[in-house]
Structure 1
Amino acid sequence: MSLGPVMLDVQGLELLPEERERLRHPLVGGVILFSRNYQFPEQVEALVRDIHAQREPQLLVAVDHEGGRVQRFRDGFTALPPIRELGRIHDENPKRARRLAETSGWLMATELRAIGVDFSFAPVLDLDRGVSRVIGDRAFHSHPETVADLAHAYMVGMHQAGMAAVGKHFPGHGAVEADSHLALPVDGRKLVDIQAEDMVPFERMIHYGLEGIMPAHVVFSRVDSLPAGFSGTWLRKILREQLGFQGVIFSDDLSMEGAKVAGDVVARAKMALSAGCDMVLVCNDTAAADQVLTGLGTHDDPVSHLRLVRMHGRENPTRTQLAQDQSYRDAVRAVTGIA
């Protein structure tokens, strides 16, 4: 059985019988974990192992683990600073910032790989324009080339730890004030201005080998009337054809307010996949997830299957081995000292 195009969540610290059945549905391809799924490292490691055991090939297990405000696992994991701190260091010492970015990416990824998580939805490639409440210090910097520079180093670290990278939120969420979790943001800039600034980190990272991209639930009104994640113009024409991206396109959560312009949840899933997404996320709404699995119909895209399989994590040391590794202890000390 191949990996399906839907990523779901689960309710608690271990799988319920009905969740096991749901995860075996042929349309399911992955699970995203949240803070409610975490109690301590051994518990979440057992949960990940159980999720992986439900299917062959194994379901993808992902998490939002950027650092700062967005870090789902806390106790027993290194407290990662907001990546904007790396941008502040870059203003004074670019070489040191790049070194710390690589160390931060490696540390984030290696701690997650040690418990079996395949990948984090990171790094953020948005620009910190001082406008977006939901982005802010989740962005490396306000300057496109600096974001690309630090994100590249961060991804190198992730790769060293056996983890693929997912850049977000294409083509850039930093120029709108509204939070797409709560509203539908509209960016009225011309395409040429977006290409000259916000898209630069994405273009650079694609060239460097970025494996995944998540588009924004933002309408760029001078380009398309639909949010980027539902737009064939953005995903197929610009991202695939013009930028040459060959990796996985993940939708942002279809339960977010910014996605509701596309209709009911089944219509959203169909539109996102038709626009060019390889996998759609349906989070924090079990009824909606079941509606998608029931109403989506057959979806078989061999190219998407190949892309998704490449998101599986590679071998990594266990937590016990990490604890005995001097380079790991050095990384923890370096990263916790950033702020």
Structure 2
Amino acid sequence: MSEQKKYLYSGLTFYLLPEIVEKLSGENYTEYLDEEFYGPLGANSLTYRPLEKFMLSDITPTEHDFLFRNSPIHGVVHDEGAIMMNGISANAGLFSNANDLAKLMQMYLNKGSYAGKRYISEATVEEFTRYQFPENKNRRGLGFDKLAFGERTVDSNAAPGASALSYGHTGFTGTMVWMDPETKLLYVFLSNRVLPTRENTRLYQLNTRTKIQQALYDSMEQNH
């Protein structure tokens, strides 16, 4: 809205999306997701508020939060904004195992289809996964992260071997998913670096996620 079109990070849109989906679909947000996406994909562990479906012992604990909630966090979303939305928000709070998350991401990698069923049009996937405002040095897509501009190293947000077409997401708690249409590589890294505290930054310092991802690219190159 300012005169200078400069990129600023904001998650505001994602707090509003559930209500928008409900108004457009006429259905409850989570029921709509289950009926239209997660159920047909066979991704049954993808869910908000996982304690309604699973035992506490099946859910990975997260941070010992003695600032905001004054208790260890287990079975509910870690993100402070999402918990104020009762655990259902588009900015955070979606729980899953790696296999089911891969099904959803493979659907994106397939440009909107999975197992013979189309969920999203190819044009929509291509629009959301392209650089939106590269002239302003904004590397983001729409809802997806993209490769950082310039020379890439293992310090970058994705492996140096990833193509310019690739896209994904890196989460605050250490999760990373990355799809590469050029090589068809789908990379899912589930982590919980904030247990017991968010002060644990070794995952970033060691570049663990991008090093593993690059090892996959190297292996594909060797076996090509």
Structure-2-length-normalised TM-score: 0.35
Answer 1 or 2: which has greater helix percent. Answer: 1
Structure-1-length-normalised TM-score: 0.26
